[in-house]
C-alpha cells in the first residue's frame, strides 16, 4: 500500500528527487536501485532519536520509536508516530542492545529502514547485518565497512593502504603486558593504550614512565574487557599537545564521496568531548585541504557510504595523523550542519534510498563553509563534584533561545525525570555566527538564560570555558581543560525564586519558625486529664468479640446490635482533617486510658493509616509503629481501624504486591484490627489487592466505596444508584466483612443517604454497613441520622471539640439526637451486646498495663 502523506511540501520534495533521477545523467554506475523509504525506526533513545524523527517528519516518512521499560514516559516516544516496548525484563541499557527484539519490532510493524543513531548498536556490524538479513535497510555504512572501521587494526591498515599518515603503533592488537613493554622500549615514550574493540575513551591510558607501563596496561585492558567484552589493546606513540580534529564525510552507493569540512573537538575531559567547533579555528588552509583530501581518499578506498567521520590528531607543527573512523553519525554533527547548511540526517536517509550525492545537489565544489558554529553539551553533572552525574526531577526549566541558537534535546522540560540508567546529556546547545568570537558570545548569552532547578548541570563550567581567552583565540588543544584549573572555580547560583517558593511552602505547611516580635514567653498550659476509674482493667469491648470469633463473628455481632454503633475518628481522621495529622503520640497516649475505660461501647477507634506514616516520619519525627503498639497496650478492648489506600498501602504510589501483603501482616502483629480499604477512583484491582492483603493477615476487611455526585438527583447519569449497587456487589463477592460508603467531600445529602443505604440494605441484608463523611457542608449530622434510619449499622463521628468543618460530624450531636429512640447509641445497649456474646465464649481481657 502506498502511504499518502497530507503535506504537499513533503511529496513535492520527494517527487523532485525522482525527477532528478529520471533526467540527470549518472556520474557513476547505473545499477544503483532507488527504493523510497516510507518508515524509519530509530534504534536509540533521547536526543538523537528525536533528531531522526524530525528529519523523517520533514521528509514525509513515518517514524517509529522503541523504548525500554525505564523510558516509558520519555519524550522520544511522543515525537514518533508510533512507539513500541523492547527488552521487557532486561536491564535498562541491554534493552537497546537487544538486536532480535529491535528487528522483531521493525518486521512486525512494516518498517523499511532502521537508523542506529549513535552509541548503543550504531557501530555493531552484526546489527547492520541482522537488519539486511531481515529485509530492512540499515541507514549507515555496509556491515563490511562497519566491521572494518570498528577494528582499529583493520582501519589502521586501510589508512596505510590509502597513504594516510598514521601514528607509529603496534601492527595488531596485543593482549599481554610483555608485548606492551617491548613496544615501548623499541619506540620510546610517551605512548597511549587504546581498546582495540571499542572507543569513547574507555580503556585509554597515557604512559610517560617505563615503570608504569605494565600496571597501566593491566588497568586499561581490564576496563576494555568490562566495557567491550574484549581486553585486547592497541598501542600508539603519543602525540604531545595535539588538536583533535575530525573530518565529516558523506558517501553514496555509486562511489561518490564528499567532505563537509572539519570540526575541532580538542576541548575534552578524560577523552570525552565537551565543546566542539566548526570549522577548526586557526587551521592552516593547506593542512585543511590535505586532511580532507586524505579523508575522502580513505573513504573511497574502503567503499564508504552514508555519513561518517575520519578523526586526526594534529601536532603543533601542523603534522596530522589518522586516529580512527567513526562509522556513524556523531553527537557533534550539528555544527557541521550549521556551517554548511546540509541536513546530515536527511542526507543519510536519502542515500539509503539510493539517491546519489549529485542528485542531492552535493558536489565538492558547491559545498562551502559559512561562519563559525559551537556546540556545548549541557549535561546533568555537577562540575563542583568532579562531574558526578545527578538524577531526579527537573523542577524548573527555562532555556536560552534567540537568533543563531539551536537546541537539540529530549528531557529538557519541567517535570522531566533524569534517570540514572543512561547518558547524562540534557540538551545540546548550538550557536552559529560570523566568526568564533561572535559565536561564543551568542553561546554565552544563551547559557546564561538557562534556568535549571532540581538537578545540577555543567553550565557554570561551560561558561568558564567560553570566557577563557585561549578558547576565544582558538588556540586550544587536548590539554586545555587539564591546564586551566580556573575553569573549575564557580560562583554559587543564587536561585532566589526557588528559595523563596520553598520558604513560602514551608511556612504554609508548617507555620512560621521565626520568633515573634514580642518578648512575651509562650504560655505553659497543662491540659486537664479526666480521672480514670481505679480498676485493674478496662471493661470488655467489641475487640473481645473479634478475638473470640474472628472477623465473621464481629460482623455478625454488628448486625445483631439493636442501636447505632459509632466509630470515633478523633485519634486519626479528625486531627488529620483539622490539624494536618500533627497530634503527637505523646498526647494520644495520655488520653488513651480514659478512652479504654469510658468508650468501650465504640465499634472501633480509627488511629492509624492515611497520612499517619508520612506525617509521623517527616514532621513529628516519630515511629508510627511504636504509636500503634503503645496504644494497643493502653486500649486492649476497642478495635483499632486504619485507612489502607489499596495497592498504595499508606503511601502515594503503587507498591509491589508483596510489600502491601507484608505491611498488612506486620500491622496486625502490631495491634491493628480493621482495614478500611479504599481507592479514590473505585478502581477494583487496587481495592481487591488491599482486601486480599488485609484478609490474609487476619484483619477485618472493610471495603470502601468512594462516594461522589448525588444519587437522589435523576439527572446525574454516571454515578447513579446502579453504579454504587453494582460496585457493592463486586466487593461483597470479593469477600469483604463490612461494606463502607466513604464520602470524603461531604457530598452525601440526607435524602441521598436514605436512598443509597436503603437500597444497599435491601440488596445485602446480612452485610454490616458503615458510613463515613466529612462535615464540610454542615449537613453531616443530618446525613448520618438519615443513614442510620435507612439501615446503616455504623457511622463515623469525632468528639465534639474535634468535629465539624472538614472533620467528622459531632459525636455529642448524634448521641443526643438518638437518645431514647430505637437507634439509641447508649453504651448500656452496646454493653449488653458485648456481654451477651462474651458470656457464651467466656472470653475476657488478659493482663492490662494501662494503669501500671
Q: Would you please indicate which residues are annotated as catalytic (active-site) residues? A: 328
Ranges of H-type helices in 60-162: 75-79, 92-95, 99-108, 125-133, 143-150, 152-161
Which residue, 286, 851, 133, is CA-closest to 533? Answer: 851
Query: CA 384, CA 122: separation in Å to the nearest integer?
Result: 32
Q: Which three cell numbers stand for residue 782?
A: 443530618
Q: Of all residues in the chain, what percent are helix, strand and coil, respectively (each to 5)?
A: 40, 20, 40
Q: Which three cell numbers stand for residue 393?
A: 526531577
Max Cα distance, the chain (Å): 111
Q: Which three cell numbers stand for residue 617?
A: 516520619
Q: Is 491 exposed, middle or buried (0-12, 13-18, 19+ CB in 10 A)?
A: exposed
Which residue, 606, 820, 582, 827, is CA-closest to 702? Answer: 606
* Beta bridge partner(s), residue 393: 417
Query: Which 8-state DSSP code applies to residue 518?
Result: -
Q: Is 798 helix (H, G, I), strand (E, B) or coil?
A: strand
Helix H or strand E segment including 346: helix 344-353
Query: What values do phi and psi take at 69, rounded to 5?
Result: -60, -35
CA distances from 21 to 13, 32, 38 (A): 13, 11, 18
Query: CA 814, CA 824: separation in Å to the nearest integer?
Result: 9
> How far is C-alpha 775 from the chain's CA centre?
39
DSSP string for residues in 678-702:
--TT--HHHHHHHHHHHHHTTPEEE
Query: What values do phi and psi take at 465, rounded to 5?
Result: -65, -45
DSSP string for residues in 304-317:
--EEEEEEEEE-TT
Query: CA 458, CA 489: separation in Å to the nearest integer?
Result: 12
CA distances from 381 to 274, 412, 461, 463 (A): 12, 14, 10, 14
> How far is C-alpha 155 from the chain's CA centre?
40
* Beta bridge partner(s), residue 604: 567
Query: Which 8-state DSSP code applies to residue 574?
Result: I
Which residue, 149, 130, 125, is CA-closest to 41? Answer: 130
Q: Work out the angle at residue 375's Cα, subtended by the Cα atoms of residues 374 and 377, and round it to the nearest 5 degrees.
A: 150
**CB of 691 within 8 A of CB of 701?**
yes
**CB of 100 within 8 A of CB of 82?**
no
State the sign of the Cα–Cα–Cα–Cα dihedral 562, 563, 567, 568.
Answer: negative
Q: Work out the angle at residue 393's Cα, subtended by the Cα atoms of residues 389 and 397, and round it to the nearest 5 degrees.
A: 95
Q: What is the CA radius of gyration of the chain?
A: 37
CA distances from 27 to 116, 299, 767 (A): 29, 18, 87
Beta strands of 5-163 (E only): which ranges? 39-42, 62-67, 82-85, 113-115, 137-138
**CB of 96 within 8 A of CB of 121?**
yes
State the sign of the Cα–Cα–Cα–Cα dihedral 131, 137, 139, 144.
Answer: positive
Query: What values do phi and psi take at 716, rounded to 5?
Result: -85, 110
Query: CA 616, CA 588: separation in Å to the nearest integer?
Result: 13
Amino acid at each position: 500500500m502506498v502511504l499518502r502523506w497530507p503535506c504537499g511540501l513533503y511529496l513535492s520534495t520527494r517527487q523532485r528527487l525522482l525527477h532528478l533521477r529520471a533526467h540527470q545523467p549518472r556520474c557513476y554506475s547505473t545499477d544503483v536501485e532507488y527504493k523510497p523509504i516510507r518508515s524509519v525506526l530509530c534504534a536509540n533513545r533521547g536526543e538523537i532519536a528525536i533528531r531522526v524523527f524530525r528529519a523523517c517528519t520533514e521528509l514525509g516518512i513515518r517514524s517509529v520509536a522503541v523504548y525500554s521499560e525505564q523510558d516509558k514516559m520519555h519524550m522520544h516516544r511522543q515525537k514518533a508516530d508510533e512507539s513500541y516496548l523492547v527488552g521487557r525484563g532486561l536491564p535498562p541499557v541491554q534493552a537497546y542492545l537487544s538486536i532480535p527484539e529491535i528487528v522483531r519490532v521493525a518486521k512486525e510493524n512494516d518498517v523499511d529502514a532502521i537508523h542506529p543513531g549513535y552509541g548503543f548498536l550504531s557501530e555493531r556490524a552484526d546489527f547492520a547485518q541482522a537488519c539486511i538479513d531481515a529485509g530492512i535497510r540499515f541507514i549507515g555504512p555496509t556491515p563490511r565497512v562497519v566491521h572494518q572501521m570498528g577494528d582499529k587494526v583493520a582501519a589502521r591498515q586501510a589508512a596505510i593502504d590509502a597513504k594516510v599518515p598514521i601514528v607509529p603503533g603496534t601492527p595488531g592488537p596485543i593482549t599481554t603486558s610483555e608485548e606492551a613493554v617491548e613496544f615501548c622500549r623499541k619506540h620510546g615514550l610517551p605512548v597511549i593504550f587504546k581498546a582495540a574493540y571499542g572507543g569513547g575513551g574507555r580503556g585509554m591510558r597515557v604512559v610517560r614512565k617505563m615503570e608504569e607501563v605494565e600496571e597501566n596496561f593491566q588497568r586499561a585492558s581490564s576496563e576494555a574487557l568490562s566495557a567491550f567484552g574484549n581486553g585486547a589493546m592497541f598501542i600508539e606513540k603519543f602525540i604531545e599537545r595535539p588538536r583533535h580534529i575530525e573530518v565529516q564525510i558523506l558517501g553514496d552507493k555509486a562511489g561518490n564521496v564528499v567532505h563537509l569540512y572539519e570540526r575541532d573537538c580538542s576541548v575534552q575531559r578524560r577523552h570525552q568531548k565537551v565543546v566542539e567547533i566548526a570549522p577548526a579555528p586557526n587551521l592552516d588552509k593547506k593542512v585543511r585541504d590535505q586532511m580532507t583530501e586524505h579523508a575522502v581518499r580513505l573513504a573511497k578506498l574502503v567503499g564508504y557510504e552514508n555519513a561518517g567521520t575520519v578523526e586526526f590528531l594534529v601536532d603543533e607543527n601542523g603534522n596530522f595523523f589518522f586516529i580512527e573512523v567513526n562509522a556513524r553519525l556523531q553527537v557533534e554533527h550539528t555544527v557541521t550542519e550549521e556551517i554548511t547548511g546540509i541536513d546530515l540526517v536527511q542526507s543519510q536517509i536519502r542515500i539509503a534510498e539510493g539517491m546519489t550525492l549529485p542528485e542531492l545537489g552535493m558536489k565538492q565544489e558547491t559545498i562551502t563553509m559559512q561562519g563559525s558554529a559551537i556546540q556545548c553539551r549541557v549535561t546533568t553533572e555537577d562540575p563542583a563534584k568532579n562531574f558526578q552525574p545527578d538524577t531526579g526531577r527537573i523542577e524548573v526549566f527555562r532555556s536560552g533561545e534567540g537568533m543563531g541558537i539551536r537546541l537539540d534535546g529530549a528531557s529538557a522540560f519541567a517535570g522531566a525525570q533524569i534517570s540514572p540508567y543512561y547518558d547524562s546529556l540534557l540538551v545540546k546547545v548550538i550557536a552559529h555566527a560570523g566568526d568564533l568570537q561572535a559565536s561564543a558570545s551568542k553561546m554565552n548569552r544563551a547559557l546564561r538564560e538557562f534556568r535549571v532547578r532540581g538537578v545540577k548541570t555543567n553550565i557554570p563550567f561551560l561558561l568558564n570555558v567560553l570566557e577563557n581567552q585561549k578558547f576565544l583565540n582558538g588556540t586550544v588543544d587536548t590539554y586545555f581543560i587539564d591546564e586551566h584549573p580556573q575553569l573549575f572555580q564557580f560562583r554559587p547560583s543564587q536561585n532566589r525564586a526557588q528559595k523563596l517558593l520553598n520558604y513560602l511552602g514551608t511556612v504554609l505547611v508548617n507555620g512560621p519558625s521565626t520568633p515573634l516580635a514580642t518578648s512575651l514567653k509562650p504560655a505553659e498550659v497543662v491540659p486537664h486529664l479526666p480521672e480514670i476509674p481505679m480498676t485493674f482493667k478496662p471493661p470488655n469491648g467489641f475487640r473481645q468479640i473479634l478475638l473470640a470469633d474472628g472477623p465473621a463473628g464481629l460482623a455478625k455481632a454488628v448486625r445483631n446490635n439493636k442501636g447505632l454503633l459509632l466509630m470515633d475518628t478523633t485519634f486519626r481522621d479528625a486531627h488529620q482533617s483539622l490539624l494536618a495529622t500533627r497530634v503527637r503520640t505523646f498526647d494520644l497516649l495520655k488520653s488513651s486510658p480514659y478512652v479504654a475505660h469510658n468508650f468501650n461501647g465504640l465499634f472501633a477507634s480509627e488511629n492509624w493509616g492515611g497520612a499517619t506514616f508520612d506525617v509521623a516520619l517527616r514532621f513529628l519525627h516519630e515511629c508510627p509503629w511504636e504509636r500503634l503498639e503503645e496504644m494497643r497496650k493502653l486500649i486492649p478492648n476497642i478495635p483499632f481501624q486504619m485507612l489502607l489506600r489499596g495497592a498504595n498501602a499508606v503511601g502515594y504510589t503503587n507498591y509491589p504486591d508483596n510489600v502491601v501483603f507484608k505491611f498488612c501482616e506486620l500491622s496486625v502483629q502490631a495491634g491493628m484490627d480493621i482495614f478500611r480499604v479504599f481507592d479514590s477512583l473505585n478502581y477494583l484491582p487496587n481495592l481487591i489487592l488491599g482486601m486480599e492483603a488485609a484478609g490474609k493477615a487476619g484483619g477485618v476487611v472493610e471495603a470502601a466505596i468512594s462516594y461522589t455526585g448525588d444519587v437522589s438527583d435523576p439527572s446525574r447519569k454516571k454515578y447513579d444508584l446502579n453504579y454504587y449497587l453494582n460496585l457493592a456487589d463486586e466487593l461483597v463477592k470479593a469477600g469483604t466483612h463490612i461494606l463502607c460508603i466513604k464520602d470524603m467531600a461531604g457530598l452525601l445529602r440526607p435524602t441521598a443517604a436514605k436512598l443509597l443505604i436503603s437500597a444497599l440494605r435491601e440488596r445485602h441484608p446480612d452485610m454490616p454497613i458503615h458510613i463515613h463523611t466529612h462535615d464540610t457542608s454542615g449537613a453531616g449530622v443530618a446525613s448520618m441520622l438519615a443513614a442510620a434510619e435507612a439501615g446503616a449499622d455504623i457511622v463515623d463521628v469525632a468528639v465534639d471539640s474535634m468535629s465539624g468543618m472538614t472533620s467528622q460530624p459531632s459525636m455529642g450531636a448524634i448521641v443526643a439526637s438518638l437518645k431514647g429512640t430505637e437507634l439509641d447509641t447508649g453504651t448500656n445497649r452496646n454493653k449488653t451486646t458485648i456481654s451477651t456474646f462474651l458470656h457464651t465464649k467466656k472470653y475476657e481481657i488478659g493482663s492490662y498495663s494501662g494503669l501500671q
